[in-house]
Structure 1
Amino acid sequence: MAHGGLQSLRVAVMSDESGWHVRRLRRALLARGAALVRCLDLAQCGVATGASRHGLVLPGFGKELPDAVIVRGVATGSFEQVTKRLTVLHALTALGVPVYNEARAIERSVDKAMTSLLLRAAGIASPPAWTTECPAQAQRVVLREAAAGHALVLKPLFGSQGKGLQLVGHVDGRFVPLPSLDAYGGLAYLQRYVPPVSAPGFDWRVLVIGGRAAAAMRRVSSHWVHNVAQGARCEAAELTADLARPAERAAQALGLDYAGVDLIPTPDGPQVLEVNGVAAWQGLQRVTPFDIAQALVDDLLDRKLAAARGRLSA
């Protein structure tokens, strides 16, 4: 798409905070000639079927729809609140607005059980995982895995940034039982722990944009949790085919326009741990030479928006 066709472009950046990421996206959109870039909190958006032809309430856009939407964040809330926020994104897609990433893809990525199922269905190497509401069944999984010498990571099903993770099973030569699941919504999502191959340990974050791996970094930490939010150190990493291929396939399996794919080294090659559909990239930007926000915006405008406009003119 030529830059000249974007002077009237109006874009909504969905985020519950107007921080570093939103500023970078705004700058990149304005650099491409966008006329209006507005940060919207999905908590402030809603449905009013009699107020406009489309039935949505989008502050700052009146009775019109944005030309495109970038989802930077979906704030936590009650089940009902989050459902309403995703309803707004679903409706925008149904109304023909390019949404980057779409609600369906975000739902797949935030649900770790669904991610595990889709990775397995696509034949992508990933640690074995179990999900159950039954504490006795979950404890049997922990006992069976511990007997085989394995530890398991207990994770919140919808968690992020390495928060709420616990090791259970065979941990440092002793047995650690499953704790109460009350803090986990009465649900156990368990993923087999992959021991580090070096000291300190590390994993990789690979950013996939428009179906192609664009950048990679190592997240290094003496702690077994390697999230940057938990203090891991970011290091530049070569984007090898062994990293790019599974990351691209993982993003495709979940239907994501862009994704932060976390991979862990194993003696048999990298395995995909998690796929993030609302991925932060501040740490990655520090060790990446190109402007990530600009690459995301270029992919949205040149691929997704161009395809949407092509369908309208066909």
Structure 2
Amino acid sequence: MSRIAIITDDPGWHGARLREALAAKGYGYSYVSLTACRLNLESGSLPVLLPGFEDGLPDGVFVRGVPGGSLDQVVFYLDVLHALKLLGIPVYNDGRAVERTVDKAMTSFLLQRAGIPTPPTWVLGSRDEAFALAERELRAGHQLVSKPLFGSQGQGLQRYEKPEDLAGLSDSNGVFYLQRFVSCGEQPHDFRVFVIRGKAVAAMRRCGVTWLNNVAQGARCEPARLDDLLLCRMAEDAVKVLDMGYAGVDIIRDHHGRYSVLEVNSIPAWKGLQSVSKVSIADLLVDDFLSLCVPRSDEGGIVKAPLPLEEGVG
């Protein structure tokens, strides 16, 4: 039986849904923590060792979580994902996609550079300059939000409405990520659009109990139709720019009706979205993922695809 490595430290609800979808396709699985992996660069050995795959590499790797840690640790975890891809193993999403989106500064830079609407954003390392910039924005009538460069589920976000609030101006390990707050009217809300292989497949409206619209912060999920072509196209364009197999795209609409992309998530949760969606998101993800994996032979074995030749090699 073909076997898949699901990269996660906490399988939970999402791991169970992936397990069920893989089993329905005849695939086995093992949950693997990147903290337990290692590079083994000696002759005659597997260069990447994953627990549960000591006799051979998996047929594919589905990334459901990258642990936090020191810079050295996070770089090593991503090295494992990069190495697996270089060895010809499908990695979904791969290390490059994770790098581009786990860092909010790079996500914002790439979106802005591609002309995709996103709120004005500043990333800098000087507290004095950050304070002066924030004070200028507030005095001009704009509100601001500070965010940790690395983080999810609305954790660590702070909102500044008036200059007096800047006494608590928050940095992320010496880096200030400041973004202009987008008001969408009296009822806080935004949209999560799930994109797989360049196509929006599900969407929801997230209605926050505070100004934060994350489901983890108590937001209510409502179904959103996919016939809003502008909303879906913006999400699809954002994922294309960031070159990902799948993603959850957070989009907000201001009180003038203008959309802008807030974040793009390369390891998105979909439990809240699934609660208001008719399609099985796990099934769609697994179908797309397995289309990238090494095909089975007629005898049930594995047909090894040849590695691409390097340029100049005949």
The reply to whether TM is greater than 0.5 is yes
C-alpha separation in 1, matches of 2:304 and 2:110: 30
1:119 to 107, 111, 117: 111
1:195 to 162, 183, 208: 183
Does the residue aligned with 1:194 lie in a helix, a strand or coil?
A: coil
2:87 to 73, 95, 118: 95
Residue 29 of structure 1 is matched in structure 2 by: 22
C-alpha separation in 1, matches of 2:44 and 2:157: 45
Give the superposition deviation at 1:50: 2.2
1:208 to 181, 184, 195: 195
Aligned: 1:293 with 2:285:
no
Does the residue aligned with 1:312 lie in a helix, a strand or coil?
A: coil
Greater CA drift, 276-285 or 77-86: 77-86
Does the residue aligned with 2:168 lie in a helix, a strand or coil?
A: coil
Letter in 2 for 1:159: G
Give the superposition deviation at 1:304: 6.0
Residue 2 of structure 2 is matched in structure 1 by: 9
What per-residue deviation string (whole Å, max 9, x for no partner) do you get for residues 255-299 of structure 1?
111100000012152110000010000000000011111100001
Does the residue aligned with 1:222 lie in a helix, a strand or coil?
A: coil
C-alpha separation in 1, matches of 2:209 and 2:163: 20
Cα root mean square deviation, aligned: 1.8
In structure 2, the gaps of 5 or more residues are: 296-302, 309-314
Give the superposition deviation at 1:52: 5.1
Give the superposition deviation at 1:196: 2.2
In structure 1, the gaps of 5 or more residues are: 1-7
Does the residue aligned with 2:11 lie in a helix, a strand or coil?
A: coil
Residue 3 of structure 1 is matched in structure 2 by: none
Residue 153 of structure 2 is matched in structure 1 by: 161
Do the aligned residues in 1 keep the contact of 2:60 with 2:293 (CA within 8 Å)? no
Does the residue aligned with 1:216 lie in a helix, a strand or coil?
A: strand
- Aligned pair count reads 299
C-alpha separation in 2, matches of 1:273 and 1:313: 38
State the identity %.
47
Distance 1:78 1:100, change over 3 A: same
Residue 251 of structure 1 is matched in structure 2 by: 239
1:45 to 37, 43, 49: 37
C-alpha separation in 1, matches of 2:272 and 2:193: 12
Deviating beyond 3 angstroms after TM superposition, the runs of 4 or more aligned structure 1 residues are 51-54, 303-306
Give the superposition deviation at 1:200: 1.9
Does the residue aligned with 2:306 lie in a helix, a strand or coil?
A: helix
Q: Give the structure with the higher percent helix.
A: 1
Give the superposition deviation at 1:233: 0.4
Distance 1:94 1:148, change over 3 A: same
1:312 to 306, 309, 314: 306
Do the aligned residues in 2 keep the contact of 1:142 with 1:178 (CA within 8 Å)? no
Greater CA drift, 261-270 or 206-215: 261-270
Do the aligned residues in 2 keep the contact of 1:146 with 1:175 (CA within 8 Å)? no
1:277 to 256, 266, 269: 266
C-alpha separation in 1, matches of 2:239 and 2:9: 24
C-alpha separation in 1, matches of 2:167 and 2:246: 35
What per-residue deviation string (whole Å, max 9, x for no partner) do you get for residues 138-180 of structure 1?
1111011112101110000001100011112xx1x66421535
Distance 1:127 1:64, change over 3 A: same
Does the residue aligned with 1:184 lie in a helix, a strand or coil?
A: coil
Distance 1:41 1:292, change over 3 A: same
Aligned: 1:185 with 2:173:
yes
C-alpha separation in 2, matches of 1:74 and 1:46: 15
